[in-house]
Amino acid sequence: MRVLVAGAAGQLGRALQASAPAGVTIIAPAEAAFDITSPAAVAAAITAAAPDVVINAAAYTAVDKAEAEPELAQRINAEAVAILAAHSPRLVQVSTDFVFPGTAHSPHRTDATPAPVSVYGRTKLAGEQAAGPQALIVRTAWVYAAQGGNFVHTMLRLMRERDEVRVVADQIGTPTHAASLARALWSLIAVGASGLQHFTDAGTASWYDFAVAIQEEALALGLLGRAVPVIPIRTEDYPTPARRPAYGVLDKTGTWAITGVPAHWRQELRLCLAELKALTA
């Protein structure tokens, strides 16, 4: 099977390449050679690669910046998906818990009605719609990896620079290791899954819980030389341009029946930080 990965240099794109199953040939063009916002470039790249599957791991993910750049977010997160869908024999589109408003009190099912409250969420929902009914659309949340810009790296930097770190404690979701997500995508592709699926690692956490765990695991591995106080705060104490879902937990029951239940997010965090230590050794 030949698989073309858009966004191959990103944290999910790298994880997909690292975990590709036997018998899969990955085509991973550089961003400059595969402009997904250009119909001509997409048509040329897909014709040349002749893939069986196209995985779109590219996205505009700057949630706050999107509020000031809605046209760019729409072009990358929605219009580009329509272009990929028009030229792909089979499209896999990665989406987000941000398509929901975060007002629920139980995990969001795949048939729950989306109602995004940010430009990022609205453009990602538009991307789901643009992918079409034949696509595999996988919503996930709070993705991080040993490489790339993400919450884990931000927390490690702040914990080294500051005497305390203040982190929102009233937004609940699930941290998801990019490596775990990549494995799930390969499992779903292998069985020919289509339509909406939800996947994250197991368990739930607040951003505060996640930050505390990052510090504890990083200290144990020697990635941090000291502990600093991690202070829980409310969302209203840390205003941002974009609204965030207060509750972004996804119901993964159907997907986990296919992929198997993944490890708890804290176990995956430990693996990620061990990889980061190896990369920086």
* Catalytically annotated residue among 120, 144, 208, 247: 120
Q: Could you give the CA distance from residue 274 to residue 258 in angstroms, rounded to a whole number?
A: 28
Give the burial class of 69: count Cβ atoms within 10 A of its Cβ; 0-12 exposed, 13-18 middle, 19 or more buried. Answer: middle
For 119-129, give one letter per residue: b (16+ CB within 10 A) or e.
Answer: bbbbbbbbbbe
CB 57 within 8 A of CB 95: no
- Reading the block at residue 139, the tokens are 């919503």
**Catalytic (active site) residue 60:** no
- Reading the block at residue 262, the tokens are 């993944």
Cα distances (Å, whole numbers) of residue 10 to 15, 109, 178, 276: 9, 28, 10, 16
Cα distances (Å, whole numbers) of residue 18 to 84, 173, 180: 23, 26, 11
Active site residues: 120
